[in-house]
Each structure stands twice: as structure tokens, then as C-alpha cells.
Structure 1
Amino acid sequence: MGLDERIITRAIVDRYFHKLKAAIDLDVAIVGAGPSGLVAGMLLAEAGTRVALFERKLSVGGGMWGGGMLFNEIVVQEEAKAVLDRVGITAQLYQEGYYTADAVEAVSTLTSRCVKAGARIFNGVSIEDVLMRPERIMGLVLNWSAVEMAGLHVDPLAVRCRVVVDATGHDTEVVKVVERKVPGSLLTPSGKREGERSMWAEEAERLTLENTREVYPGLYVAGMAANATFGGPRMGPVFGGMLLSGRKVARLILEQLKS
């Protein structure tokens, strides 16, 4: 039997729109499919929540793909090794307290586990705005990243959700939108985004976990976005804090959804 290009096109369009329509009404929308977003998405999906991840780039995985300066190995500390073990990622002891893992294995495994758990990932999609009600965030306003990059005037679409997670790393894309729309409203000491500090791996790993929390009603920050929001330093190619942050934000959200 020969291949029919029309059927190929229909298959892609039909299946994609089925996936997109199922994501219009969510429990949790995660912006950014880096390590913290993938771990959070996996755990939330495993717990039965309706969750989708929106990634502005074509590839998922954030900075984890490149390891350090394109040496595609990552380092995690003892506490974070449990997250890798849980999904079957090989972690090798380098010296006491330091484990390494292949960056490609780590990203591809986390991505696969996230999708197989039931999370939907939409790549090439940017967050243009948020749905806001007087008391909280209620959803996201989406557009194609290519539209954003080209500067075209194309109206967006929207999805509703109960909780949003900003896992966009250094960019803090969702937090910036909220800060711009409702000045002084963030749950930080100054009421605004504090910005990230210079690299300090040990302190950054500690603060990544500490700063993973709700920053505006209905909006949580995770991973490097947490430090960039609350003024913590960057950590470089150490990814334990990212993994643990994804686990923590999933637990916080599950507690909120149950209450």
C-alpha cells in the first residue's frame, strides 16, 4: 500500500488538535520543560492531575542538554540522586557527595517518563500573557514561538488552569508578566522580582529548594526561576537543586489541589 500525503497531514492535524483540546482546561500548566518542569510534570501526572507543559523552544530539557560548556555530563549531589534512581537514570559516584550522569540520558529519560505518565508537552509555544482574575491567575495566553520571533500581529489563544508553574529558568517569563500587569504584587520581600545573583553553587542549590513556592496566588516558581524571582545566585551545571525543586513544587501543588 502506498503512502498518501493527505492522510499523513490529516493524522498530524487530528492528533495534535485532540491533544490541544484536552489541554484547554487543566489542573496545572507548567511553563518551561527543563529539568524542574519535567520532574514536576511527571509527578503531577502520576498523581492523576491534568497537566501540560509549554516550552518556547523546539527542544525540551532546558540547560541540562549541554551539561557544562557543551560537555554533556551533569553533576548532582547525594540528595538528588534519588530522583535519578527513581526513573532509571544511571548516576555514577565521582567522589563523596558528587554524582555524574549523562545529560542526554537524563533529559530523554525524564521527558519520556513525563509523557508516559500522562503529561502533555507542547513545544514551540510561548506565553504571551496570563488569564487574570481579581484574586489569582486563572490560566495562560499562548502563541507560537515563531510568531513571537517574527513579530507578527497574530492574536493568541488561551487555556484555563487551577495552578501555573513558572519553570522558565533565568527568564522568569510568567513572573515578569505578572510583575508588569500587577506591580508590587509578588510575594517577595520587595513585592517585585529580585533578579538572580552571580554563581555560587552551594548557596544556589540550597536556595533553589527554599525559594520553590507560591509567588502570586495561583503561580508557583521552580528551578532557576525560583532563584531569579527571590534573588538567589545561579548554580551552573549542578542540577540536583533543579530536580529537587520539581519534586517539591509538585508536592506543594498536590497539597493545594486537595485542600
Structure 2
Amino acid sequence: MNQFAQATEKDITRSIVEEFLGDFLSHIESDVIIVGGGPSGLVAARDLASSGLKTVVLESNNYFGGGFWLGGYLMNKVTVRAPAQKIFDQLGVPYKEVPDIKEGLYVADAPSACSKLISAACDAGAFMLNMNKFDDVVLRDGRVCGAVTNWTPVSALPRAITCVDPVAIETKCVIDATGHDAVVANSLADRGLVDLKGFLGMDVDNSEDAVVNNTSELFPGLVVTGMAAATCFGLSRMGPTFGGMLESGVKAAKIAEEIVRSR
């Protein structure tokens, strides 16, 4: 006698397709689209979805978390500086304080921190759309009001082989959380709508505050967060410390919520 409940291949396939398409259809129009599922984007997703806003996270990889999984130099420990350890407290991430650091430096296991942050965004109700590559913005009346997307494998195909048109999903606000690439902001820069300064060399002591302070609405309907803000505003890179990225995500969520509530 079989241990598991009976289900055939068609039952399994039907359940996957129906559930995914139902979720996708309900998010074709959302409150916020977050492009990039790294630490900044995931924190923003958690906070926005927790506030009751319909939130989509668009991620080009098959996994979420970005560099948060690994920390620095393929050694899977992540650091944050005070006061960002409070976000670890919220997530239930165990951490240790590094001794002899006046301002407070904390270290945690990257897989633990990353998995709990992903779980927090999912549990809050964010729709997680991985293997979807950002292709372009939807522009209407001088503001960003959506994202054009295609399957990541399709985007990698040579044009000589095939051409598969993307689809678009609409929203009240887009958050660029794509790291140094700042792909959403660059799609506007290519059209001459914004001027991006590019990020500077590493300066850990100043970069985190600068990233949080410059987390802002770059263009009507587009908020930049995390290292995308560094690229947009010519800020120093911060390297393998993640407190500024997490706090930037918190701030980005507040700005995005204000934008959504005002429309």
C-alpha cells in the first residue's frame, strides 16, 4: 500500500498551473513592484505587504536573496552595524556582537539571515516572481507606472533563434532594488530622463549612511534603494556589510507607501 495520497501527473501539473496563474492574474495590477530580490528589496517587500499593499517582487534568478546568501569572499557570514541588528531581532536571526567595536558590529550566519528574510516577505503576502527579468518600464504621463518583464531564459536566447515578446504588469510605484546595476534607473537614463553618476570605490564607514540618506524617489513613480541608490547618486560602495541595505529597504518601503497612498 502506498504511503502517500494518490495523485497522477496531470493532477500535479494542473495544481501548479492553476495556482501560479491565479496568483499572477491577481497581481497584473499591483500597488508596488520591487525589481530585485536582494536584502533591500526583500525588507521593502516585507514592510509593504505587511501594510496591506499588493506587492510584487520581480527577480531574475531562480533564488531570492542576492549577495545576502554569501556575505564576503565566499565566506557565508554577514555583518551589520548598529542599529540594523534590530532588523535581525525582528526576523529572529541569531547573531554575535564583535568585541572591541565602539559603535557595535554584529555577525550572523548568512543562510539563516537570508532564509528568514525571504520567509518574512513571503509570510507578509508579497508575490514572489522569480526567473523573471526586467525588460523595460511602463511610462505614462511622465511617470513610471509598471514593469515590462520576460522569462529569464527567454532573455538569454539569441535574437536569431527566436523572439518572444514580453508582458507588462502595472503598478502605482516601482522600487529599483537591483544593486549596482540599477537596471530600472538605467532604462530611464538610456532615454535621457535621469542622469546617473555611477558608484565610487569602497568606503564602508560612510557608505551605509549615504545609501540610506539617498534612498529616494529618483523619478516620478520610481524609488531607488540599496546599492542602486549608490549607482544613481555617485556614492561609495559598502562591500560585505548589509545594515545599510536593510535600513535602505525599510526607508524605501515608507516612501513607496506614501506614493501609493497619495494616488
TM range (shorter): over 0.9
Equivalent residue runs for 1:62-211 within 5 Å: 62-95=66-99, 96=101, 97-151=104-158, 152-181=162-191, 183=192, 185-186=193-194, 192-211=195-214
CA distance in structure 2 between the partners assigned to 1:2 and 1:18 by the alignment: 24
2:237 to 215, 234, 249: 234
CA distance in structure 1 between the partners assigned to 2:242 and 2:188 by the alignment: 27
Counterpart code for 1:115 = C
Q: In angstroms, what is the RMSD of aligned CA positions? A: 1.0
Following TM superposition, by how much is the alpha carbon of 1:26 offset from its aligned partner in structure 2, in angstroms?
0.4
Following TM superposition, by how much is the alpha carbon of 1:153 offset from its aligned partner in structure 2, in angstroms?
1.1
Counterpart code for 1:52 = V
Kindly, what percent of the aligned residue pairs are identical? 40
Following TM superposition, by how much is the alpha carbon of 1:251 offset from its aligned partner in structure 2, in angstroms?
1.1
Query: In the alignment, is the contact (CA less than 8 A) between 2:216 and 2:225 conserved in 1?
Result: yes
Query: In the alignment, is the contact (CA less than 8 A) between 2:221 and 2:259 conserved in 1?
Result: no
- 1:46 matched residue in structure 2: 50
Following TM superposition, by how much is the alpha carbon of 1:180 offset from its aligned partner in structure 2, in angstroms?
1.3
Following TM superposition, by how much is the alpha carbon of 1:258 offset from its aligned partner in structure 2, in angstroms?
2.6
CA distance in structure 1 between the partners assigned to 2:118 and 2:22 by the alignment: 20
Counterpart code for 1:231 = G
Following TM superposition, by how much is the alpha carbon of 1:91 offset from its aligned partner in structure 2, in angstroms?
2.0
Moved more, 228-237 or 88-97: 88-97
Note the alpha carbon deviations across 1:181-220, whole angstroms, 9 max, x for none: 3x0x22xxxxx11111111111211111011101110000
Q: Which has the larger radius of gyration?
A: 2
Q: Secondary structure at the match of 1:140?
A: strand
Q: Secondary structure at the match of 2:47?
A: helix
Q: Secondary structure at the match of 2:202?
A: coil
Tell me if 1:56 matches 2:60.
Answer: yes
Gaps of 5+ in 2: none
- 1:23 matched residue in structure 2: 27
Query: In the alignment, is the contact (CA less than 8 A) between 2:81 and 2:105 conserved in 1?
Result: yes
Following TM superposition, by how much is the alpha carbon of 1:52 offset from its aligned partner in structure 2, in angstroms?
0.6
TM-score by length of 2: 0.93
CA distance in structure 1 between the partners assigned to 2:91 and 2:21 by the alignment: 30
Q: Secondary structure at the match of 2:79?
A: strand
Q: Name the count of aligned residue pairs.
A: 252
CA distance in structure 1 between the partners assigned to 2:56 and 2:259 by the alignment: 18
Where does structure 1 differ by over 6 angstroms across 4 or more consecutive aligned residues? none
CA distance in structure 2 between the partners assigned to 1:258 and 1:37 by the alignment: 20
